[in-house]
A and B are shown apart, each in its own frame.
Chain A
Amino acid sequence: MRRGGALVLALVLWGGAAQAVSPAELLTRATRAEASGDLPAAIAAMEELSAAGVDGSAVLYDLGTLYARAERYGEAVWCFERVLRREPWSLRAQKNLRATRIRLARRDAGRTGTAVVETQPPTRTVIGELLPLDLAVPLAVLAQLAALALWFARRRSKGELARVGLAAATALTLTVALGVMGVIVARRSIPPGAVVLRDGLRLKRAAGRRDPRGALREGERVDVLTRDGEFVRVRTIAGRAGWLAGRELGALTE
């Protein structure tokens, strides 16, 4: 019995290994599907790639582009927002995010007669998302070290002109260090963000009670306040707070 069980387990594992698809193969599959216009198949391949842990900015950009073309705007916004949190300088992600929001607004305008393209987030959020932490922290450390080195060099320098120049350089690098640290402080102080993935969701004020003030917009940015099991308490930019199912939100993580 034990030997038979081991054989079955070996067969299952071998079968699983044989079916595993490499990331390159998944990307090729997605590329072919996209070229032939089969968006659902392309999206499925890219989602599988992302779920396998290959979730770099380039993969997220491609997935977001496919979502946008398939009119799954909430998920597209979520992908592009994640790319921009890591690479704020990504022009193609900025462009596609903007285009997605306009498409979404036009769709909403066609349905209801009104639409919102984008709501300006709070200033603290804007500042906090100027730089990703993986860039801001090393930059702040380097600026501090540079300021210290310049300060020590100034103490050892002889000429008046050299001392003045080094003092100015020290002040400049110190300013850069303080500025970057300000961005870091802002980023750490803002609550975790998320994007609403579906349209027409309503906040629950408490168990079983819905918010009568209107539905959330697909692609809308919210702050995550707390979690309770599968539910998440969120707050919109406009200040409305309530509970949503976690599966309806796309988290914006580092």
Chain B
Amino acid sequence: MEFIVGDSFFGSRRQVRLSAPTITLTVREPPAAGRPRVTTSGTLGPLTLRATVDRAQVTAGETVTLTVRVEGNGYIGSVSLPPLPRIEGVRTLTPTSRLLPRNVDDPLHATREESVAMVPERPGQVALGVWSVPWFDPRTGRYERASVTLPTITVTGAAVSRDDDAQREDPSIALDPFDPAASLTPHRAVFTTGLRVWSALVAPGAGVALWWLAGALRAMRARRRDEEDALSRNDPARLLAAATKALDGGDLAGALAHLGRAISLARKEMEHEGLREAQSEADTLRFAGAEGLTAESVRALRDRVRAALQERAS
């Protein structure tokens, strides 16, 4: 050590060497027998634990602070305490630790507070469990355990998640909510194959084409019918056939009209004695009226006209 002789400003300094008596410390390691599996060296007791929460009832998503107070003798500040329990559905933030001021009347007694902010995310009763700290009693040479039952929190409201916080911060990642009234109708797709698709698309055009084709066919048939009629009206042989048909159907007047026209047309082409006679007979029958018009007479006239036409043709 150094001391000053004389005035503090003008005096001289002297150094002397002093020594204190040797003190021997015997440091013993806590025994291995009975040592808890999870223990922290240096944790000497007895320890007293207390646990409180700032709120016993919260809404899901709100923060509740759990505070655990550890009291005991010795330097608790340097002791590593076991972590607080993690609960499913409860998000915990980084815990904090502080030493409370010592009581001057009891300087060996220390108090340490462990605090952790917790955010319950689901409604219901949340039991935070039991927190225990093993400690060694040097007086008895045994390991002990201090425990505290952490409080139960009542969580109300709808479940929230970390996702909600993120969505509130950034709307671009916000999801529209789950729809509990979703329709349970199964999906049925109709146009799943190329055949169905193209069949449906071609159908209107095909329908129009078919309609046009049907119309063209009808017009063609009508034209052909008109041509046939025209031919029938101007061909003695066809007129004869029409007269036979009318005669077979009982239409004597119609048969007579066909036969009269056949005779007129044939006589225009070529004069023939048989045709003249047939013309005379036809006129007679025409003027005879309904009473004189019989099937036999019309049939006889028809045969005469047929014979005349055959002779004319030969």
CB distance from A88 to the nearest CB of B (A): 15
- Find out whether the CB atom of B184 lies under 8 angstroms from the CB atom of A102: no
Is A170 an interface position by the 8 A CB rule?
A: no
Place the interface of chain B in its size category: 35 or more
Cα A133 to Cα B197 with chains together (Å): 8
CB distance from A144 to the nearest CB of B (A): 4
Is A201 an interface position by the 8 A CB rule?
A: no
B-contact 0/1 string along A154-186, CB 8 Å cutoff: 000000000000000000000000000100100
Cα A54 to Cα B184 with chains together (Å): 6
Interface residues of B in 152-194 (CB under 8 A from A): 158-161, 163, 172-180, 182-187, 189-192, 194
- Find out whether the CB atom of B187 lies under 8 angstroms from the CB atom of A141: no
Residues of B contacting A230 in the complex (Cβ-Cβ under 8 angstroms): none
Classify the secondary structure of B's interface with A.
Answer: loop
Cα A54 to Cα B161 with chains together (Å): 28
Number of A residues near B (Cβ < 8 Å) is 47
Cα A134 to Cα B175 with chains together (Å): 28
- Find out whether the CB atom of A37 lies under 8 angstroms from the CB atom of B89: yes
Residues of A contacting B186 in the complex (Cβ-Cβ under 8 angstroms): 53-56
Minimum CB distance partner of A52 in chain B: B186
Cα A151 to Cα B178 with chains together (Å): 49
Residues of B contacting A184 in the complex (Cβ-Cβ under 8 angstroms): 197, 201
In the complex with contacts A27-B184, A57-B187, A95-B176, A188-B194 CB distance below 8 A: yes
Is A211 an interface position by the 8 A CB rule?
A: no
- Find out whether the CB atom of B161 lies under 8 angstroms from the CB atom of A56: no
In the complex with contacts A65-B176, A92-B176, A148-B208 CB distance below 8 A: yes
- Find out whether the CB atom of B175 lies under 8 angstroms from the CB atom of A99: yes
Residue from B159, B175, B201 within 8 A of A141 (CB atoms): B201
Cα A174 to Cα B121 with chains together (Å): 58
- Find out whether the CB atom of B122 lies under 8 angstroms from the CB atom of A37: yes
Residues of B contacting A66 in the complex (Cβ-Cβ under 8 angstroms): 178
Instruction: List the interface of chain B (C-beta within 8 A of A).
Output: 89, 121-123, 158-161, 163, 172-180, 182-187, 189-192, 194, 196-197, 200-201, 203-205, 208
Residue from B173, B187, B208 within 8 A of A99 (CB atoms): B173
- Find out whether the CB atom of A144 lies under 8 angstroms from the CB atom of B204: yes
- Find out whether the CB atom of B184 lies under 8 angstroms from the CB atom of A56: yes
- Find out whether the CB atom of A254 lies under 8 angstroms from the CB atom of B192: yes
CB distance from B18 to the nearest CB of A (A): 64
- Find out whether the CB atom of B205 lies under 8 angstroms from the CB atom of A144: yes
12 pairs from A and B in contact (CB 8 Å cutoff): A49-B184, A54-B186, A56-B183, A58-B179, A58-B182, A62-B182, A99-B172, A106-B173, A134-B191, A144-B204, A148-B208, A254-B191
- Find out whether the CB atom of A36 lies under 8 angstroms from the CB atom of B172: no
- Find out whether the CB atom of A137 lies under 8 angstroms from the CB atom of B187: no
Residue from B172, B180, B192, B204 within 8 A of A27 (CB atoms): B180
- Find out whether the CB atom of B204 lies under 8 angstroms from the CB atom of A65: no
